Amino acid sequence: MLRHVHPLLGADLLRALMAMGHGDEIVIADANFPAYSQGVPVIDMPGATATDVAEAVLGHLPLDTFADAAAFRMAVVGDHNHVPEICQTFQDQIVRLSGEFIIAPVERFAFYEQAKRAFVIVRTGEQRLYGNLILKKGVLSVSL
C-alpha cells in the first residue's frame, strides 16, 4: 500500500496512468463492453463499478484543457439526448474532481472506434447499461 493513492489503483492501472502522455485516452468500461476486441491493452477490474474506477482515476488524472472535449460517454442508442443515471454520476464526479468539463456523447460505433485508439481500457464489473467513459489526459504543471 502507498499513502495518498486510491486503493483501486493497483500496480497495472497506476503504471498505465503514469505512462500515459498528454492527449492519451483511457476507457473505463462496463462489463458488457467488448474490451478485448478493441486491440488495446485491457486491465480487468471485475469487482469494481465503473463509477468507483472513475473516482479513483479522476483523483489523480488531469483532464485535457486544450481539447474541445476531454470526457466522452456512449450515447444511448435511439435516444442520444437521454443521459443515463450512471452518466450523470460520471458528470458529477468530473465536476467535483476535475472542474467544469462536460461529457460529450458519442454514438455507439464511433465510441468503439475511439476506444480502439485508447492507451488502455479498464473493464469493470459494472452492470448498469451505458457505464462507459473515455477520459483524455491533460498536462500537470509542476513548480520546482
Domain residue ranges in the chain = 23-136
Distance (Å, whole) CA 14 – CA 59? 12
User: How would residue 80 be classed by pLDDT, with cut points 50, 70 and 90?
Assistant: confident
CATH superfamily, with its number, for domain 23-136? RbsD-like domain (3.40.1650.10)
Q: What is the mean pLDDT of residues 105-133?
A: 98
Grid cell, residue 8, equals 483501486
**Set 6, 44, 60, 112: catalytic member:** 112
Tell me which DSSP letter residue 137 carries: B
Q: What is the mean pLDDT of residues 68-77?
A: 97
**Residue 112 known to be catalytic:** yes
**Residue 79 known to be catalytic:** no
Distance (Å, whole) CA 49 – CA 36? 18
